[in-house]
């Protein structure tokens, strides 16, 4: 397969070629991926998720589906439709998969299963060579497909280290309908009786959220959103979700502020399949003061500017399947403090390319340490960027999927 750049510069529309990755990952790696893609160029693949907007799954699927099409694999992305009641149920499932001890009564099960059944009648994947279903929202889809001549994969993006036992027992009946389950980390494996594969997420370095910005562009962007330049910035970028621990971030900031002068910025948006986000956002706003800025906006350039300018980036999650906001900040050479949980532990090597913390007090101590030591901040940032280049770029995720698809090809 040729690595030549196409005549039309589709990269301006978000369609990036392996040629563009070659200077970052090396030409040998780019050519290896291109060769694998050429052998699979007759395939048609379908992804199914619950939203095109907000959250880590969308951050992955947007560039991944575009890149798969760019290398010649016809790739669809289907969205399941649901009522507010349905997304209320699936948010419960999401929380229970991450360990929340709450009820999922029969009435919720009926709503959940009925809506997925309705979607199964509308989503047509008969001509596909593989179907990839993401997270619990569309999970029962495979149960309603009578003849599955192609492999079906269920990919779970959340932290499965300690799922709620009754909920996990209920969901296993649907997971068993798949050829393989795919998790972000080996420690999320569950002895399901089907193949279990492990694929870490990745970022698109060419996305508006991740491209280089000049100092003047950063200044202008932050100014437009009322973020003051006078004091060092501490920031967390994430959905407004209880598992991201925004209240713990505020508490750690207030402790650190007693020793160093700084401003906290919390920025995020709410995924369309997350009905809890607005409630949590309003709760956060009631607890802020003049040194804390909360922005509920969908602005990738602002995220980019903030991650590049902030002296400290936090991701103080208490559960985290992986944590793409950590990856994004590390790619920009930021000094990142992350919760010592889930996929964050796979990205941050404590004291080498960032810091891992187990609570508010540790987070506050590390904020102070970084703000007082610019040389430390620069060293952490350099190592952070290199670790992302080596392990967590979209080219690597694409290759992982090419390997999986090749492994599960079925004879015609």
CATH number of the CATH domain containing 318: 3.40.50.2000
Let me know whether 115 and 238 are in one domain: no
Radius of gyration for the alpha carbons in the chain, expressed in angstroms and rounded: 21
Let me know whether 385 and 399 are in one domain: no
Is residue 308 situated within a structural domain?
A: yes
Let me know whether 161 and 247 are in one domain: no
- Which pLDDT does position 303 carry in this prediction? 96
Let me know whether 369 and 399 are in one domain: no
Is residue 356 situated within a structural domain?
A: yes
- Which pLDDT does position 264 carry in this prediction? 97
Let me know whether 170 and 278 are in one domain: no
- Which pLDDT does position 13 carry in this prediction? 52
Give pTM, 2 decimals.
0.89
Contact between 153 and 131 under an 8 Å Cβ cutoff? The reply is yes
Residue with tokens 């922005």: 295
Is residue 55 situated within a structural domain?
A: yes
Is residue 297 situated within a structural domain?
A: yes
Burial class (CB in 10 A: 0-12, 13-18, 19+), 261: exposed
3 state SS for the chain: CCCCCCCCCHHHHCCCCHHHHHHHHCHHHHHHHHHHHHHCCCCEEEEEECCCCCCHHHHHHHHHHHHHHHCCCEEEEEECCCCHHHHHHHHHHHHHHCCCCCCCCHHHHHHHHHHHHHHHHHCCCCCCCEEEEECCCCHHHHHHCCCCCCCEEEEECCCCCCCCHHHHHHHHHHHCCCCEEEECCHHHCCCCCCEEEECCCCECCCCCCCCCCCHHHHHHHHHHCCCCCCCCEEEEECCCCHHHCHHHHHHHHHHHHCCCCCEEEEEECCCCCCCCHHHHHHHHHCCCCCCEEEEECCCHHHHHHHHHHCCEEEECCCCCCCCHHHHHHHHCCCCEEEECCCCHHHHCCECCCEEEECCHHHHHHHHHHHHHCHHHHHHHHHHHHHHHHHHCEHHHHHHHHHHHHHHCCCCC
Is residue 209 situated within a structural domain?
A: no
Let me know whether 131 and 172 are in one domain: yes
Domain count, the chain: 2
Tokens found for residue 348:
């941050």
Q: Are strands 195-198 and 180-183 parallel, antiparallel or unpaired?
A: parallel
Domain that holds residue 273: 215-391
Cα 369–chain centre separation: 28
For 240, phi then psi, to 5°, come to -80, 95
- Which pLDDT does position 44 carry in this prediction? 96
Rounded-to-integer distance, Cα 355 and Cα 339, Å: 9
Let me know whether 185 and 63 are in one domain: yes
Contact between 333 and 384 under an 8 Å Cβ cutoff? The reply is yes
- Which pLDDT does position 274 carry in this prediction? 64
- Which pLDDT does position 14 carry in this prediction? 59
- Which pLDDT does position 278 carry in this prediction? 81
- Which pLDDT does position 275 carry in this prediction? 65
Contact between 353 and 228 under an 8 Å Cβ cutoff? The reply is no
Is residue 412 situated within a structural domain?
A: no
Let me know whether 146 and 14 are in one domain: yes
Let me know whether 15 and 60 are in one domain: yes
- Which pLDDT does position 232 carry in this prediction? 97
- Which pLDDT does position 84 carry in this prediction? 92
Block means of pLDDT (10 residues each) for the chain, length 412 residues? Answer: 51 71 95 96 95 82 94 95 94 92 95 96 92 96 85 94 93 95 94 95 95 96 94 95 94 97 90 70 87 93 97 95 95 98 96 97 98 97 97 97 94 61
Tokens found for residue 58:
């969308």
Residue 196 bridge partners (DSSP): 181
Let me know whether 377 and 285 are in one domain: yes
Is residue 4 situated within a structural domain?
A: no
Is residue 207 situated within a structural domain?
A: no
Let me know whether 162 and 265 are in one domain: no
Tokens found for residue 86:
């349905």
- Which pLDDT does position 239 carry in this prediction? 87
All residues at 6 or more sequence positions from 87 whose CB lies less than 8 Å from its CB, including other chains: 50, 137, 273, 274, 275
Let me know whether 142 and 259 are in one domain: no
Rounded-to-integer distance, Cα 342 and Cα 10, Å: 36
């Amino acid at each position: 397969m040729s690595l030549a750049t196409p005549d039309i510069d589709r990269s301006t529309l978000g369609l990036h070629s392996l040629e563009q990755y070659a200077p970052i990952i090396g030409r040998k790696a780019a050519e290896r991926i291109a060769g694998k893609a050429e052998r699979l160029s007759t395939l048609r693949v379908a992804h199914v998720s619950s939203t095109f907007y907000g959250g880590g799954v969308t951050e992955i699927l947007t560039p991944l589906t575009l890149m798969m099409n760019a290398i010649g694999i016809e790739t669809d992305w289907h969205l399941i439709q649901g009522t507010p009641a349905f997304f209320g149920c699936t948010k419960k499932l999401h929380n229970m998969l991450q360990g929340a001890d709450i009820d999922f009564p029969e009435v919720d099960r009926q709503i959940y299963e009925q809506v997925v059944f309705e979607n199964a009648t509308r989503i047509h994947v008969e001509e596909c060579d593989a179907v990839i279903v993401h997270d619990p929202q569309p999970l029962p889809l495979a149960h309603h497909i009578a003849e599955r001549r192609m492999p079906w994969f269920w990919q779970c993006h959340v932290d499965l280290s300690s799922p709620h036992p009754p909920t996990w027992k209920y969901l296993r009946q649907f997971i068993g309908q798949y050829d393989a389950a795919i998790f972000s980390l080996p420690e999320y494996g569950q002895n399901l009786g089907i193949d279990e594969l492990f694929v870490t997420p990745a970022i698109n370095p060419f996305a508006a959220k991740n491209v280089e910005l000049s100092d003047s562009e950063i200044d202008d962007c932050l100014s437009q959103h009322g973020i003051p330049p006078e004091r060092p910035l501490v920031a967390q970028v994430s959905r407004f979700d209880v598992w991201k621990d925004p209240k713990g971030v505020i508490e750690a900031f207030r402790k650190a502020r007693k020793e160093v002068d700084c401003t906290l910025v919390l920025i995020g948006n709410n995924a369309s399949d997350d009905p809890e986000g607005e409630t949590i956002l309003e709760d956060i706003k009631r607890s802020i003061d003049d040194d804390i800025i909360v922005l509920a906006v969908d602005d990738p350039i602002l995220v980019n500017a903030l991650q590049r300018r902030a002296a400290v980036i936090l991701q103080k999650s208490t559960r985290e399947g992986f944590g793409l906001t950590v990856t994004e900040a590390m790619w920009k050479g930021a000094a990142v403090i992350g919760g010592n949980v889930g996929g964050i532990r796979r990205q941050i090597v404590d004291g080498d390319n960032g810091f891992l913390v187990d609570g508010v007090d540790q987070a506050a101590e590390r904020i102070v340490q970084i703000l007082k030591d610019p040389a430390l901040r620069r060293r952490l940032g350099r190592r952070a960027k290199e670790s992302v280049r080596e392990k967590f770029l979209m080219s690597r995720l694409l290759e992982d999927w090419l390997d999986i698809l090749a492994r599960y090809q079925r004879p015609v």
